[in-house]
Amino acid sequence: MRPAVSAVLLACLALGACAHVRAPETALPAAFEGAKGAADRAPAGAIDLDRWWLAFKDPELNGLIDQALARNPDARTATARLSEARANRVESLTHYLPQGDVQGSQRRTDTKQLAGTVFNIPGFSSSGVSDASGVNLNASWEVDLFGRFFATSKAVNGDIAAARFNYEGARASLAANVADSYFQARGLAIQLADARDSQRIEQELYDSASKRAQVGIAPTSDADRVAGDLAQAKAQAEALAAQLQVERRTLLILAGRIVEPTANIAVEASVGDLPPVPEMLPSELLKRRPDVREASARVAAATGRSQLDVLSFLPTLDWTPGLTWQKSSQPGFSVTAQSFINGGAFTQPLFSIPKLLSELKAQDARSEQAVIAYEKAVQTAFADSEGALVNLDADRRRVVLLTDGEARAARGYKAAKLGYDRGLTDLQTALSSEQSWRATRAQLTAAQVQAARRTIQVYKALGGGWPAEHFPTDKQAR
């Protein structure tokens, strides 16, 4: 028997040497290329990434995000999942605590003999009342000699860390979604204001064309042509008003205020000044991005499970104490007994070793998948961050260029409109100048809204929206 046990132990040591989860490859460039020479960068620490939305200095936005984090179904679901993970952790670890239940019983029997011989010998009476009661305490405790508890702790601690990072990631995404929807609504408000301004301009052109036709200095077809543009401007304003109402309803739903009227959401027709984005090194994504931290925690959990599968080849020792108390009484006879049981059990896998080997190989494969998922999360985080930074820089340059172009186009239209009113230019010139101005203004609005949304993407991509400094480092979590 001893040679067999020795062979099993040697096999387990060999398996333990082989069951090793490789270290992930997380090398990243030293800096973001999109940050080279870029403007509007704040020094590290100048922007509170935990609550980046405060940098916009918009009380309406702050309130909407706070309400969403407290009331939104996605936020509440993430909280419930975190609670489930905590309960699962306790359930897994209590397996290594003493287990057992107390059982009690009480029975009374009233016997009346209807026929036959009646015995009056004490303890053997055929008639009368008999009582039987007992209490049993059966316990068991796995004596952990090989570190199964610590391997399980590593696995479940990784699970709960992953659940916590998933919780924080869900809340960070929710905050970004609220802010994105809010700036889309403000963009629609700007477009609606522009459409109504265009409607006013078209009305002025129509009135001017009508007056010129009445005095005979312009054909009546000029007024008819402007009337078509006026109808389009009115239709555009109606469509934008409907879209803005829909976006306001979306914001109310995100904030958990679905029963309120859409008028309760104050949306200004202006994007406002956009805050700078913080300077950050790519390596800092490893501790700032909740999805990266979640993937790292899952590697730790997989490592613990691999260790636990290796330990499954070793013997299991169980201590099984027990305590019993019983009392039985019959007419003329009573017995009370108490006993203490002290025992144990020993289990050594033998014929189940092939099955355990398959399970270990499967767990090693899952561990490798967790490592690959972590490496992919790091790569995705870098790609998201650099892409968002590059696009944000381009968007802000577009805003600068289009702001100047819109001012020039506006001056050109005013000059053409004045010339048409005074009979110096024809309608086509005025309409062409107006269309050029409106197109440039529409592009400027789109660029401003896109820059605001891209700023939100940068904050999210850099790992903003959750208190990263309150969490242990990945090495401590493992």
The pLDDT, as a whole number, for residue 118 is 58
pLDDT higher than 50, residue 37: no
**Among 137-141, 296-300, 333-337, where is mean pLDDT lowest?**
333-337
What percent of the chain lies above the pLDDT cut of 90?
42
Domains 11-97+146-184+207-217+247-313+357-477 and 98-143+314-348 share a fold: no
Q: pLDDT per residue over 255-264, tens digit each?
A: 999 999 999 9
Q: pLDDT per residue over 306-330, tens digit each?
A: 999 999 999 999 888 888 988 887 7
**Among 3-7, 118-122, 209-213, 406-410, where is mean pLDDT lowest?**
3-7
Over the chain, what is the mean pLDDT? 84
Beta strands 316-319 and 344-347, pairing class: antiparallel
The pLDDT, as a whole number, for residue 124 is 55
471 DSSP assignment: S
**Among 26-35, 98-107, 333-342, 367-376, where is mean pLDDT lowest?**
26-35
pLDDT higher than 70, residue 13: no
The residue among 446, 384, 465, 334 whose CA lies nearest residue 28 is 384
The residue among 301, 358, 461, 349 whose CA lies nearest residue 7 is 349
**Among 5-9, 246-250, 332-336, 453-457, where is mean pLDDT lowest?**
5-9
Q: Which residues contact 302 (CB under 8 A, 6 or more apart)?
A: 21, 155, 158, 363, 366, 367, 370, 371
State which CATH number among 2.40.50, 1.10.3470, 1.25.40, 2.20.200 fits the domain covering 98-143+314-348. 2.20.200
The pLDDT, as a whole number, for residue 279 is 85
**Among 32-46, 335-349, 419-433, where is mean pLDDT lowest?**
32-46
**Among 103-107, 210-214, 396-400, where is mean pLDDT lowest?**
210-214
pLDDT higher than 70, residue 122: no
Handedness of CA 6, 153, 471, 256 (dihedral sign): positive
Residue extents of the structural domains in the chain: 11-97+146-184+207-217+247-313+357-477, 98-143+314-348
Cα distances (Å, whole numbers) of residue 50 to 171, 248, 283, 333: 11, 26, 18, 77
More reliable by pLDDT, 122 or 161: 161
3-state DSSP assignment of residue 182: helix
CA distance 440 to 294: 45
Indicate yes or no: pTM above 0.85: no
What percent of the chain lies above the pLDDT cut of 70?
87
CA distance 78 to 37: 40
The pLDDT, as a whole number, for residue 204 is 75
Q: Name the strand (E) or helix (H) holding 275.
A: none
Task: Determine the average pLDDT of the residues in 395-419.
Answer: 87
Q: pLDDT per residue over 168-219, tens digit each?
A: 999 999 999 999 999 999 999 999 988 888 888 778 777 777 877 777 766 7
Task: Determine the average pLDDT of the residues in 129-137.
Answer: 86
**Among 153-162, 285-294, 432-441, where is mean pLDDT lowest?**
432-441
Instruction: Give the architecture-level CATH label for domain 11-97+146-184+207-217+247-313+357-477.
Output: Up-down Bundle (1.20)
pLDDT higher than 50, residue 476: no
The pLDDT, as a whole number, for residue 478 is 46
pLDDT higher than 70, residue 4: no
pLDDT band at 360 (very low <50, low <70, confident <90, very high): very high
Question: Looking at the DSSP assignment, which residues form a beta bridge with residue 344?
Answer: 319
3-state DSSP assignment of residue 165: helix
The residue among 152, 4, 176 whose CA lies nearest residue 90 is 152
Cα distances (Å, whole numbers) of residue 205 to 417, 425, 439: 8, 13, 18
pLDDT higher than 50, residue 233: yes
